[in-house]
Structure 1
Amino acid sequence: MNYKEVYNMWLESKLIDEQIKKELLELTDEKEIEDRFYKNLEFGTGGLRGKIAAGTNRINIYTVAKATQGLAKYLVASFENPSACIAYDSRNFSATFAETAAKVLAANGVKVYLYESLRPTPMLSFAVRHIGTSSGIVITASHNPKEYNGYKVYGSDGGQITDAAAAATLNYIDETDIFRDIKMIELDEAEAKGLLTYIGEEVDKAYYEKVAGLVIRKDLVKKHASELNIIYTPIHGSGNIPVRTMLKNLGYTNVHIVKQQELPDGNFPTAPYPNPENPQVFNIAVEMAKEIGPDLIFGTDPDCDRIGVIVKEESGDYKVLTGNQVGVLLTDYMLNARLGEGILTDKDTIIKTIVTTEMAQAVADSYGVQLMNVLTGFKYIGEKIEQFEQTGSNNFVLGFEESYGYLSGGFVRDKDAVIAAVLIAEMALYYKKQGKDLAKALQDLFEKHGYYKEDLISIEMQGKDGQEKITSMIADLRDNLPTEVGGVKVQLVEDYKLSQRYNKQENSIESIDLPKSNVIKFILEDNSWFVIRPSGTEPKIKIYASVVGKTSQDATDKVHTFVVAIKDLLHI
């Protein structure tokens, strides 16, 4: 069936709301109609993400209902007494989509625990484990622009569902007809039948107690937390209450909120791209800082799983630290704190993704602890935590990725900006008592381990043609592996789709023991590297680049030259 036939089915169906039909009839761009209906919105390992609009390739109550019907079938087939927690963030239609999912699950006999109001993604992960449900759903598009929303699915371990569970769920979704097969009951009926319970303060308190337990230098925080001057922005998202609650509980009473970004607002009026990686979201906070003179500035994204940190440089300018830099600071701080408290062991382990800075390896080595690499996606860090708990082989200290996600503790299995806020505040407080700030602490690490610098090339390729170009670009590179980049020889090629590591110098091949993924990493003789991969959540191809320099300027020059060479190689 072609896209136009599917489009007409939506217009003719009695199940489609008249307002939706009106939206579709007003479409005049044939390419837009094609893009909305040429395929179903893809259900990947993390669930759904797309623009909010009518169509099979968009997120709306119908595509959410279809996905949930498929998930319900999977849960009923896989669990004796299936159940699920549901949370949602501040995005437009998040509450509506959460209620739609609850109605479908309950109609299929799946017990639903629905948060009574918006909550961060990591609190959903916690609730799944705390309550003991079979699954979890959170409605969010993380840091995407206001036009987007999403639907993330979690397993019983509190982590995003594994590849096998995602594949099985997708089979059920594909079997589901959006017009004939979806069951649904109203929320009051579900509650009356004992199929719906609302989650509130009791679970929140349990989460807050666990987060408080992650403080390492407890005496330091207890005695001096009130001395730290903090500016915090929730960026119109779900972090406002939990982050401020945790800071207050721990004694951080000198906290200034960016009022213009305090309240939830799915239109993100002051931050069109509500991503803490984007310096513009901190413009108001920086203006406040000129008057307040804070020790620490940070902000969380709409679903409060990512956090960005601002530092004041010697020049007086304010700068957003990269996710890699914050991750390295936390790695060093937490290992140093554990050493100081006498609890550091050789079983302690840092976990990072393959696109995240190798500086973390240098820091881990300096403390004699282990570092493990996993594929991009925090669920893979969650899987390692589960393995550690099952086998007792390692002690999980910190997991992080370059895209501003951090986690400590085992009670949450996804990146958690509430936890990160608490750890970053403790770290900033410690350095303040040492007479320095985070900028100086980072500089000290560079001087000790080398000047690591990373860059990201992100190219948006919308629509059907864009997806085909992304696939073709990676396939062409795989078929024509370069022997050098910018005059520097390629030493290793790691192909995660083929699960093989090629040593170009020794002309040897070894296996990579990680799940398959359409990702290729090139490691050069001078320890620079780059990775190419399609985004799992956006219509983009991403190229990550990293170099090591002798000085800050040397690293800056090197990464600039390296990025130019990569672009030449890929003809972009």
Structure 2
Amino acid sequence: MSDYVMTVQDKVESWLQDVHIDEETKRELRSLENNPAELEDRFYKDLEFGTGGLRGVIGAGSNRMNRYTVGRATQGFAAYLLATAKTSDSVPSVVIAHDSRHFSPEFALEAALVLAGNGIAAKLFRSLRPTPQLSFTVRRLHADGGIVITASHNPPEYNGYKVYNASGGQLVPHEAEQVIAHIRQVESFAQVKRLTREEAEAKGLLVWLDEAEDEAFAGTVASVSVNPELLRSGAGKDVVIVYTPLHGTGNGPVRRVLDKLGFSQVHIVPEQEQPDAEFSTVKSPNPEEREAFKMAIELGRKTCADILIGTDPDADRMGAVVRTKSGEYEILTGNQSGAILMYYMLSQLKEKGKLPENGAVVKTIVTSELGAEIARHYGLTVFNTLTGFKYIGEKMNEFEKSGSYTYVFGYEESYGYLAGNYARDKDAVVAASLISEAAAYYKQQGKTLMDVLEDIYREFGYYREALSSITMKGKDGVAKIGALMTSWRVSPPDSINGFTVTEVLDYSLGLDGLPKENVLKFLLDDGSWFCLRPSGTEPKIKFYFAVKGSSDDDAKARLASLQEQVLSRANS
């Protein structure tokens, strides 16, 4: 066997000579012949599976999102499905959805035609749909898997490809490793089996999904309400809501569910209502950032809205901004929204005698302990998972299979929430409906959601959290992130912020029965903690911080000092 390793120039030339690659792609590569740095970045590696699939900048090259990298990944996924099929008596099926990004419809169709070329039925939505609806539909149609073309809240030049298993959850590591192994066996595009659209439709291997799936999803999400009597009494009519889909997939589903629940005063930010692959009204279509709510806040002031809701392009993350007693608007962090949702749901279920005796809440290791405190207060068991909702979905499957616990709520600090057992991924649609319901309930008591959050702090403690990121792009960035993690792992600090580091949790060792992951968490003797985690989908390293103070001001001061000292070392 030869030890020959292809250079970047070899890879470029192989694409230029490949008869399976179209001329437009080749022209794009030829236009870069005097830009070796760009070609290096496009070809120094193959676009890799991160958290559940591919994500990258759109363009020609093995390290880019294009129809060829999508086709190769789909060929590997198809081989995996055929190798693991439960029975050979029926045709396997995969549900496919896509968001509003550049080339999302084209990539979705390409994946469908490759699946069809492998004898797998592709069930494809005709237009954009939310990621959680994909998860729901995989389960509803008893499909063998799912694919969604999305890059979540990344900048416009990105797109992505997420893969789902038969339970409707993103692939967990042992599944992803098998898919990756099959992808690696696809050494040339000649190995990618593909039908034309006409052939796939004629063979019944390309099936177009209709609005029946939309109604099923909306009806199921609406049924998750924990206080339907309140809404039937008309309480939803008193709440003024401003909603922005940020040019993404949430517009139809969120409005449909809010309408079903009786929320009649829903104002849509007109400039951000329609799909727009450039996300031209925002710097980033990310409901975690206040800037994304600028237009919603302006409309909120005009309408005296009680709550502003934003969903990211694939509608799996929900951000909320609430009006204070003074009439100003304050954006909630993911941890704060999660605490409010948890507190509202559990208090209502307890009041109605519907809290399960074996109830469970699942959160990630970088999510605030405030939600855990609330859950334990109401007698629920709290489970921690690694970052990524796929792990929460996996826990839900364990509960369902064993009957040991009843899943009630799962969430992560990055604005992802799921109540109900109908999906295995975070759902901004149900989060939007439940936080609107909470706003209606507390408004009847003369309270804003900020008042409720203050009540929670007084009862459970003043928790504050923050997230900072350092971006390191390209081949050099990967090496720098690796070196940074090694430095903190090999030489951890003895103290930070005037407090002793009591424990270093290195999740690369597989702690607490969790899969191994390159994450470091440092616990301090005042109860605060911070965590280092390279992103699985973006060229950055993330720093998570959490403190608990004696008052809100004390917590804010502790948090600012902790951030400053950790980031000072990281940047030195």
TM over 0.5: yes
| Distance (whole Å) between structure 1 residues aligned to residue 570 and residue 317 of structure 2 | 30
Q: Does 1:59 align with 2:65?
A: yes
Query: 1:267-313: CA deviations, max 9, x gaps?
Result: 11102310001111111111111110011110111000001101123
Aligned residue in 2 for 1:547: 547
CA displacement 1:508-561 (0-9 Å, x = unmatched) = xxxx21111111111110010011111011011001011111111111111111
The DSSP-based 3-state class of the residue aligned with 1:419 is helix
Amino acid at match of 1:236: H
How far did residue 45 of structure 1 move? 4.1
2:155 matched residue in structure 1: 145
Partner of 1:18: 23
Matching residue's letter, 1:281 = A
The code of the aligned residue for 1:259 comes to P
Q: RMSD between aligned alpha carbons? A: 1.2
Distance 2:471 2:51 in 1: 21
The answer to whether 1:96 aligns with 2:106 is yes
CA apart distance, 1:368? 2.0
Structure 1 counterpart of 2:394: 383
Amino acid at match of 1:527: G
Matched residue SS, 2:54: strand
2:95 alignment counterpart: 85
Q: Aligned runs of 1:115-264 on 2, under 5 Å?
A: 115-223=125-233, 224-264=235-275
Deviation at 1:25, TM superposition (A): 1.9
Amino acid at match of 1:352: K
Instruction: Note the C-alpha offset of 1:315.
Output: 4.8
Shift of 1:477: 1.4
Gapped regions of structure 1 (runs ≥ 5): 501-511
- Aligned residues of 2:237 and 2:265 also touching (Cα < 8 A): yes
Matching residue within 23, 33, 36 for 1:30: 36
Task: Map residues 447-462 of structure 1 onto 2, 5 A cutoff.
Answer: 447-462=458-473
Residue of structure 1 equivalent to 2:46: 40
Q: 1:411 maps to what in 2?
A: 422
CA contact (8 A) 1:62 1:178 kept: no
Task: Give the partner amino acid of 2:570.
Answer: L
Q: Whole-Å Cα distance in 2 between the matches of residues 26 and 112 of structure 1?
A: 36
Judge which range, 146-155 or 242-251, deviates more.
242-251
CA contact (8 A) 2:80 2:178 kept: yes
Task: Say whether the 8 Å CA contact 2:250–2:314 is kept in structure 1.
Answer: yes
Paired letter, 1:475? T
Report the alpha carbon displacement of residue 107 of structure 1 after superposing the two structures with TM: 0.4
Instruction: State the 1:121 CA deviation.
Output: 0.2
Q: Secondary structure at the match of 1:146?
A: coil
SS of 1:542's equivalent in the other structure is strand
The whole-number CA distance in structure 1 between the counterparts of 2:186 and 2:58 is: 21
Say if 1:44 and 1:166, in contact at 8 Å, map to a contact too.
Answer: no
Task: Tell me if structure 2 keeps the 8 A contact 1:64–1:97.
Answer: yes
Shift of 1:499: 2.5
TM-score of the superposed pair, with normalisation by structure 2: 0.96
1:346–1:370 Cα contact (<8 Å) kept: no
Decide whether the 8 Å contact of 2:219 with 2:257 is kept in 1.
no
Matched, 1:525 2:536: no
- 3-state SS of paired residue (1:532): strand
State how far apart, in whole Å, the 1-side matches of 2:131 and 2:448 are. Answer: 30
* Structure 2: distance between partners of 1:514 and 1:435: 44
Q: Does 1:570 align with 2:562?
A: no
* Distance in 2 of aligned mates of 1:228 and 1:312: 12
Task: Specify which of 310, 326, 333 is matched with residue 322 of structure 1.
Answer: 333
Code of the residue aligned with 1:43 in structure 2: it is: F
Q: Does 1:487 align with 2:498?
A: yes
C-alpha separation in 2, matches of 1:342 and 1:55? 58
Aligned equivalents of 1:365 and 1:492: distance in 2? 24
The TM-score with structure 1 as length reference comes to 0.96
For 1:232, the aligned partner's letter is: Y
Query: Is 1:5 matched with 2:15?
Result: no
Which range moves more in the overlay, 525-534 or 184-193? 184-193
| 8 Å CA contact 2:113, 2:206 repeated in 1 | no
Which residue does the alignment assign to 1:504?
none
In 1: Cα distance, 2:21 partner to 2:563 partner:
48
Structure 2 residue matching 1:327: 3-state secondary structure: helix
The number of residues matched between the two structures is 561
Q: Percent identity?
A: 49
Tell me, what secondary structure is at the counterpart of 1:453?
A: strand
AA aligned opposite 2:73: A
Partners of 1:77 and 1:520 in 2: CA distance: 36
